[in-house]
Amino acid sequence: MLAGVTVGLVFVLLTAGIVVATSTADRGPAPTTATFTGVPTTQAGTPPAVASRMTSAATALLPSTVALIVVRNGGTVEGTGVVAEAGGIIATLCSLVDGARSITAVEPDGARRPATLLATDPTSGIAVVRIDDDLPAATFAAGDPAPGSLAWALSERVAAGTAPLSARLYGGTVTASGRAQGTGTVAAFASTAVATPLSAADIGCPLVDRAGTVVGVLDQVVVTPRGVESVFLPAQLVRVVADQLVAGGTIVQGALGAAAVDAPGTDGAVLATIDPDGAAAVSGLAAGDVVTSVNGAPVHSAAELRTRLYAQPPGTQVVVGFVRAGATSTVDVVLE
C-alpha cells in the first residue's frame, strides 16, 4: 500500500462561519461560531464539489476537537486534541503534554477549561486528558486512507481572550499508509504520510476523510525525498490505546505468539517464527503464513500487524485473515 509518487499539494482556504452546538448550560443559550482560515488552493483543478465536501466534513468534526495550551518549565506550547469518548475524554500526543505543569483545553466556542492528564503510553506516544464537559466524540476509522487519495488535517489555533478558535484545514495527497514511516514512535507502527507541511503547533490534530471520520492523529513532520510530509498515527491505534488508558491507566498487551516480517514483493506480514505453545500455533497458524487482515481491517506490513494487535488485552479474540500456499482463509485467535 506504499506509494512513492510525485504529488501536488492541496491547500484549501475555507472562510465559513460554523455554528458549534453547545452541550452544557454554563456556556449560555446563544450559539457561537468558529472560523476556518488558511491559504488559497495551490493545486489547479480542485473541483468545487470537493471543497464543499471538505467544508461539510470539517463542520461535522469541529465540535469534537479542542486546542490544548500546555505550560511547561521551559515555556508554553500549543497543539490539538480529539474527543475520543463522551465525558470529556480527549486523545492527544505524549510529545505535547509530557512535562506539563498545567493543561488548558480551549473548546471551539472559545470556552477554556482546565484539563487533567489521565495517562500516557510512551510506546505508542498517545496520551489522554480529561475536561469537565461532555463534548461529542469523534468517529475513528478502522482502516487507513489509500495512497493517492485526499485527506485533510484540521488544526486549531487559540484566539485572544474568549474568542472562538481559529480552525485551519489543510488538504493533501496521501503518499503512503499501512507501513512504518518517520522516526521514533511512529517508526514502530504503521502510519499515514500526507503531503501537507504542518508544524509543531499542529501536533495532535486529526486527519479527516471526506466523510468527517478521523483517520489519523499528527505525530510528526518529516522531510522526505518527496518533500515535506506530515506523519499521522492511525485512528484505530489512537482509539484502542485511549480506551485502555481510560479503563486502567496503562496498556496490557495480548500476545499473538509469533514474530512477523514484511511479505516480500507484496502486502501482508509473514509469520517468520511461531511459539509452539503460543496463541497463533494453538489456532492453527504456521510459520510462512501471510497475515493479510485482522478483524477485517487490512494488514499491509509487519508494522501494521503490530498496530492492529497493539492494546488488545489478553483474552481478546481476533479474526486473522491469512494466505497459505495461495489459498486465503481466516481463523479465530485468542490472544495470550
* pLDDT value for 37: 55
Q: Which ranges in the chain belong to alpha helices (H)?
A: 48-61, 94-97, 235-248, 279-283, 302-309
* Residues 261/287, Cβ–Cβ less than 8 Å: no
Which residue, 304, 137, 156, 302, is CA-closest to 233? 304
Distance between first and last Cα of the chain = 29
Please determine whether the domains at 17-85+137-243 and 258-334 fall in the same fold group of CATH: no
* pLDDT value for 151: 86
- Which three cell numbers, joined as nine digits, stand for 214? 478521523
Q: In DSSP terms, which residues pair with 118 in a beta bridge?
A: none
Return d(Cα 269, Cα 190) in angstroms, integer.
12
pLDDT tens-digit profile of 204-255? 999 998 888 999 999 999 887 877 889 999 999 999 999 999 999 999 999 9
Average confidence score pLDDT of the chain: 84
* pLDDT value for 206: 95
Q: Which amino acid is at 92?
A: T
* pLDDT value for 73: 92
Class of domain 17-85+137-243: mainly beta
* Domain 258-334 belongs in CATH node 2.40.160.40: no
* Residues 64/217, Cβ–Cβ less than 8 Å: no
User: Domain map of the chain by residue range?
Assistant: 17-85+137-243, 258-334
Burial of 303 (0-12, 13-18, 19+ CB in 10 A): buried
**pLDDT-derived band at 48, boundaries 50, 70, 90:** low
Q: In DSSP terms, which residues pair with 37 in a beta bridge?
A: 168
**pLDDT-derived band at 324, boundaries 50, 70, 90:** very high
pLDDT tens-digit profile of 106-130? 998 899 999 999 999 999 999 999 9
